Structure 1
Amino acid sequence: MTSESQTAGTRVLHLSSAQLARVSRALDGDEAAAAEFDSALSSDPVRLLVEVLSTKSVPAGSGVSYGHTFVTQHPTVLARVAIGYGHGLPRKAGNRAWVTWSAAGGPAVRLPIVGRVAMDEFVVDVGRTPVEPGQLMCVFGDSDEGEVPLGDWAAAIGESPVSVIACLDRRVTRSVVE
């Protein structure tokens, strides 16, 4: 039986057909395709959007996720986001990487991933940003939109961009855009 946390939430990877082809070739061992994928990111960005499952106000001193590797310094709001290491997101993104969120038509706001990345979710410190359950966070995306580019996101965790994409499992929907 599948638990709700394993199936809950939208997870969509938007990429061009050219980038999808490069990733496919890279998975088959084509090192040139992997290098092409990485070098094309500035002109052909890849975007991962993930649903916010819930938000919760917490007091200062609240430990976050397994092992409490992050403890809030002041009262804040935390958001649970519907992707984790079970979907292929690197566990080491916790306390190292950022995501973005924006209100309809508003500027993107960078927010930190805090605590350990769990199997099916991670936590973001949204502070006073008016994030609501059901909205989407951009894990990485288009720098022209104010989003964290995949190259920067991958560098923050010590991975190559193509390896981050290659590890995402089938529960992350691929949406080919042109």
Structure 2
Amino acid sequence: MSEAHTAGARVLYLSASQRSKIIGAVHGDADAAAAFDSTLMSDPVRLFVEVLSTKRVPAHSGVSYGHTYVTQHPTTLARVAIGYGHGIPRKAGNSVSVTWSPAEGPPIRLPIVGRVAMDEFVVDAGDAPVLPGSRVCVFGDPRRGEVSLGEWAESLGESPVSLAACLDGRVVRSVSE
């Protein structure tokens, strides 16, 4: 990721072909929507978002609005700079995971815990050394060990193209040829 660092950065990496399919789907082209979904394994889209802060909490700590998630043991929580105001479905809370890649070793899945807020969500990082300023992959390339957009969509009962198309203009698109 070579883009300039900006606090709360949100970047969607996709090919020109996938971008074209999303635009077609938004304008009602059912064939473009189907083509987007069917090519995700060979042409994945990847959404990376910055971690805003982390906090070590004790067992029995409630997370986010309404405390719909309560920690079972001491853990580290990380605030991630994207929420329903950017197009992440509210129902992603307590339902899906993101991926964090340490400097060495395989990617680690971190569950989204608590409710998705307007501009952020929280992940349970456990004992992983996630730090503010690092990036999580919200969805990406399963060949790299990342949670795929298809997996996200299936977990939420949505189509992959609808999840990608709903991301607002504050999510930067990085289009490759």
TM-score (norm 1): 0.94
Who is 2:18 aligned against?
19
The 2-side partners of 1:106 and 1:64 are apart by 28
Deviations 1:74-116 (A, max 9, x none): 1100000000000011010000000000123531101100000
Shift of 1:177: 2.0
Who is 2:71 aligned against?
72
The 1-side partners of 2:106 and 2:84 are apart by 28
Shift of 1:14: 0.3
Who is 2:126 aligned against?
127
The 2-side partners of 1:52 and 1:77 are apart by 12
| Structure 2 counterparts to residues 49-68 of structure 1, below 5 A | 49-68=48-67
Read off the aligned partner of 2:107 and give its amino acid letter.
Answer: A
Who is 1:9 aligned against?
8
| Structure 2 counterparts to residues 30-109 of structure 1, below 5 A | 30-109=29-108
The 1-side partners of 2:102 and 2:124 are apart by 16
Read off the aligned partner of 2:84 and give its amino acid letter.
Answer: Y
Read off the aligned partner of 1:113 and give its amino acid letter.
Answer: I
| Structure 2 counterparts to residues 132-147 of structure 1, below 5 A | 132-147=131-146
Read off the aligned partner of 2:65 and give its amino acid letter.
Answer: Y
Shift of 1:157: 1.0
Deviations 1:21-73 (A, max 9, x none): 00000001000100000000000000000000000000111000001000000
CA RMSD of aligned residues (A): 1.0
TM-score (norm 2): 0.95
Gaps of 5+ in 1: 1-6
Q: How many residues align?
A: 172
Secondary structure (helix, strand or coil) at the match of 2:116 reads coil
Quote the sequence identity (%): 71
Gaps of 5+ in 2: 1-5
Secondary structure (helix, strand or coil) at the match of 2:154 reads helix
